[in-house]
């Protein structure tokens, strides 16, 4: 009897947390999405989402999030592989993580200076003879800065799964005559696929709703669903439409989680 009581007591913090910070907020977002700007109940917001403006916005959010995730992965995997082979791997890992302790806004402002017309990168381009280019407020700068910001989150899970990889398996592959590439393709990569998946999730999902960088680095030339939510809540005060977009983002994110998690480890 007492045991059951204490067990139930342990559940309290968890259930309270889930209720207050997960269920109620999502329910509120869903509730607000059914009201138009004048506070009348309507499904108009959902209709509006399926107009070319918002569909195009969804498409471009996906495209940029995909680019950011793919580039991060291409850079992060070899880096993580290299890190596990170094002598002081925890130190090198720490050096990669340190920039993520600095406030995002400060980093974005730093890039304004670096990429500006008279910034360091343009002076460099001039010196090597390419000449001045517009770097700031382009797709390139947006993707570059986003990758820079997300890369620690991609490296960390991949590093962890590589680190846990039993080295005898790699030796075994070698002994059995597998080439380096085959070992990587058939042994190392499949065994670290979970790290890759979680790295992609923690990059792709926040990248879908990036908003501050779209203004600071892309000069509003890139519009994502996150930008639209920000505008609807802060400027227009059309909470209904903002919530509707948020509902679609939640649905998309759940779908992505399901798609990346249910697949069994393939060999």
Partner 1 sequence: MNHLIRFFLVIALASAIILYGISSLNSSQGYSGGNTLTVYNWGDYIDEDLIKQFEKKTGIKVIYETFDSNEAMMTKIEQGGTNYDVAIPSEYTIDKMKQDNLLIPLDHSKLPNLKNIDQRFMDLPFDPENKYSVPYFWGTVGIVYNPKMLNGKKITSWNDLWNPDLKNQILLIDGAREVMGMGLNSLGYSLNDTNKKHLLEAKAKLDGLTPNVKAIVGDEIKMLMANEEASIGLVWSGDASEIMSENEDLDYVVPKEGSNLWFDNMVIPKTAKNIDAAHKFINFMLDPKVAAKNTEYVGYSTPNKQALKHLPKEVVEDERFYPSPELTKKLEVYKNLGKKNLAYYNELFLQFKMHKK
**What CA–CA distance (Å, rounded) separates 45 from 34?**
7
Q: Which of 228, 246, 247, 252 binds partner 1 (CB under 8 A)?
A: 228
Q: State which residue, 78 or 219, has the beta carbon closest to partner 1.
A: 219
Tokens of 105: 């806004």
- CB atoms inside a 10 Å sphere around CB 136: 23
Q: Which of 118, 127, 264, 267 binds partner 1 (CB under 8 A)?
A: 118
Least separation in angstroms between residue 235's CB and partner 1 is 6
Residues 129-168 as x/- pattern, contact with partner 1 by CB under 8 A = -----x-xx-------------------------------
Based on the shown chain and the rule CB under 8 A, indicate whether residue 116 belongs to the binding site for partner 1.
yes
**What CA–CA distance (Å, rounded) separates 246 from 47?**
15
267: which residues sit within 8 A by CB, 6+ positions away?
186, 190
Based on the shown chain and the rule CB under 8 A, indicate whether residue 237 belongs to the binding site for partner 1.
yes
Q: Which of 34, 194, 238, 260 binds partner 1 (CB under 8 A)?
A: 238
Residue 140 to residues 74, 144, 214, 215, 218: CA-CA distances in angstroms?
16, 6, 12, 14, 9
**What CA–CA distance (Å, rounded) separates 47 from 51?**
7
Least separation in angstroms between residue 126's CB and partner 1 is 16
Binding site for partner 1 (CB under 8 A): 37-38, 53, 56-57, 60, 109, 112, 116-118, 134, 136-137, 215-216, 218-221, 223, 228, 231-232, 234-238, 241
């Amino acid at each position: 009897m007492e045991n059951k009581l204490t067990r139930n007591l342990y559940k309290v913090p968890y259930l309270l947390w889930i209720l207050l910070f997960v269920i109620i907020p999502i329910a509120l977002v869903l509730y607000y999405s059914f009201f138009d700007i004048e506070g009348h109940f309507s499904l108009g917001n959902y209709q509006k989402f399926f107009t070319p403006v918002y569909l195009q916005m969804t498409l471009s959010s996906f495209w940029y999030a995909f680019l950011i995730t793919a580039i991060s992965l291409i850079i992060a995997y070899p880096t993580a592989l290299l890190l596990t082979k170094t002598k002081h791997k925890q130190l090198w890992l720490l050096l990669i993580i340190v920039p993520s302790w600095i406030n995002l806004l400060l980093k974005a402002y730093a890039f304004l200076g670096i990429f500006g017309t008279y910034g360091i990168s343009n002076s460099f381009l001039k010196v090597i003879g390419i000449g001045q280019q517009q770097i700031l407020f382009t797709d390139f700068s947006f993707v570059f800065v986003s990758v820079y910001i997300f890369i620690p989150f991609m490296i960390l899970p991949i590093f962890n799964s590589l680190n846990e990889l039993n080295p005898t398996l790699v030796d075994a592959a070698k002994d059995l005559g597998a080439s380096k590439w085959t070992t990587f393709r058939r042994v190392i990569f499949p065994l670290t696929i979970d790290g890759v998946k979680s790295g992609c999730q923690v990059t792709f999902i926040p990248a879908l709703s990036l908003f501050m960088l779209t203004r600071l680095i892309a000069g509003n030339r890139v519009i994502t669903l996150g930008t639209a939510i920000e505008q609807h809540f802060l400027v227009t005060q059309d909470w209904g439409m903002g919530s509707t977009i948020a509902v679609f983002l939640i649905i998309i994110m759940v779908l992505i989680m399901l798609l990346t998690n249910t697949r069994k480890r393939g060999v």
